[in-house]
């Protein structure tokens, strides 16, 4: 009988996780079954426990359950604890172990796949949601010259900066405070692109950037990426590489082998046009 894993979210029909993990399993010779679960908004914990009782060994967790999954865990690894959310669970007996691979997947995509070093870079991150929280510790571990966190609600960015500042040079600001500043790498972690909207970042903040990265994936040339293109940013990227790389980290955590990601990323990449 194959070992069972799945992704849980609501809605879940759009998920690419089964495709990704089945590709990983085929490439690495791992005997797994990987499905998708549309979790109940009212009975998330019941769904998780039912999956465990049926023999499930691990879950990827997507919106809107990342906070509930963390609360359900009996053990929280540092990345999940600091992010305040988890995107992966592992079941070992009575233990429910939580980790968060969003940030490490994003960092790997930027550095290993796209070839941009974060060490010594001036970075601007837009937004302060769960994906951004998960990225801050892996970003700061790469020793950027400075990481600036901009958000519509400054108090949220201030809270994150206070929490993570011990790990590296991090400061918060409002969008209006970005006037006159220049950055090497700009990352959009807001939900604006999901609604085809533009976060209120001044175009001048992108003028010296070499990379503009959109966490959303499969949306083509989003308003943020179009702004970056018009500002002359030479490299534009969306979050498909992050998606695949965080999946590879979870696969390694569960199975003890890290799959090669290049073929899957190439298969899933949509031209930014």
Residue 134 marked as a ligand binder: no
Please indicate if the annotation marks 90 as binding a ligand: no
**Any residues with CB less than 8 A from the CB of 201 and at least 6 apart, and which?**
124, 126, 150, 175, 178, 186, 188, 224, 227
151 is in an annotated binding site: yes
**Residue 45 labeled ligand binder:** no
Please check if 239 is assigned to a binding site.
yes
3-state secondary structure 136-194: HHHHHHCCCCEEEEECCCHHHHHHHHHHHHHHCCEEEECHHHHCCCCCCEEEECCCHHH
166's tokens? 């011990």
What element of type H or E holds 105? Answer: helix 102-108
The answer on whether 112 is annotated among ligand-binding residues is no
Q: Is 102 part of any known ligand binding site?
A: yes
Burial of residue 271 (number of CB atoms within 10 Å: 0-12, 13-18, 19+): exposed
Kindly state the tokens that stand for 164.
Answer: 């993570």
Distance CA 49, CA 55 (A): 10
Annotated ligand binding at 28? The verdict is no
Catalytic residue status for 53: no
* Residue 94 assigned as binding residue: no
Please indicate if the annotation marks 211 as binding a ligand.
Answer: no
16 is in an annotated binding site: yes
Helices 240-255/17-28 angle, 10° precision? 50
Q: Is 222 annotated as a binding residue?
A: no
Are 23 and 266 spatial neighbours (Cβ–Cβ below 8 Å)? no
For 227-251, give the DSSP string: HHHHTT-SEEE-THHHHHHHHHHHH
Is 188 flagged in the annotation as binding? no
Q: Is the peptide bond before 164 cis (omega within 30 degrees of 0)?
A: no
Task: Establish whether 62 is an annotated binding residue.
Answer: yes
Q: Among the options 26, 66, 195, 219, which is catalytic?
A: 66
29 burial level (CB within 10 Å; 0-12, 13-18, 19+): exposed
User: Is residue 9 annotated as involved in ligand binding?
Assistant: no
Copy the structure tokens of residue 196. Answer: 């085809």
Does the annotation place 128 within a ligand binding site?
yes
C-alpha 168 chain-centroid distance: 20
Residues marked as binding for NADP(+)?
78, 127-131, 151-156, 215, 239
Residues marked as binding for shikimate?
15-17, 62, 87, 102, 217, 246
Catalytic annotation, residues:
66
Residues marked as binding?
15-17, 62, 78, 87, 102, 127-131, 151-156, 215, 217, 239, 246
């Amino acid at each position: 009988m194959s070992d069972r894993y799945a992704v849980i979210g609501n809605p879940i029909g759009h998920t690419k996780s089964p495709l990704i993990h089945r590709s990983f399993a085929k490439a690495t010779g791992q005997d797994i079954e990987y499905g998708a679960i549309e979790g109940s908004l009212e009975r998330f914990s019941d769904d998780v426990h039912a999956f465990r009782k049926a023999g499930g060994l691990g879950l990827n967790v997507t919106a809107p359950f990342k906070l509930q999954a963390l609360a359900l865990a009996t053990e929280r690894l540092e990345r999940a604890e600091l992010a305040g959310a988890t995107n992966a669970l592992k079941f070992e007996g009575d233990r429910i172990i939580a980790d968060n691979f969003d940030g490490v997947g994003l960092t790997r995509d930027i550095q290993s796949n796209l070839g941009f070093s974060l060490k010594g870079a001036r970075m601007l991150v837009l937004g302060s949601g769960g994906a951004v929280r998960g990225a801050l510790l892996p970003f700061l571990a790469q020793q950027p010259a400075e990481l600036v966190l901009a958000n519509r609600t400054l108090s949220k960015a201030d809270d994150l900066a206070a929490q993570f500042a011990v790990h590296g040079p991090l400061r918060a600001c409002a969008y209006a405070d970005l006037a006159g500043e220049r950055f090497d790498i700009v990352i959009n972690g807001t939900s604006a692109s999901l609604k085809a909207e533009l976060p209120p970042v001044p175009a001048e903040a992108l003028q010296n950037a070499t990379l503009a990265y959109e966490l959303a994936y499969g949306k083509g040339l989003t308003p943020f990426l179009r702004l970056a293109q018009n500002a002359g940013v030479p490299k534009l990227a969306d979050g498909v590489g992050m998606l695949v790389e965080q999946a590879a980290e979870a696969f390694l955590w569960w199975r003890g082998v890290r799959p090669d990601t290049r073929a899957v990323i190439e298969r899933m990449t949509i031209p930014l046009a």
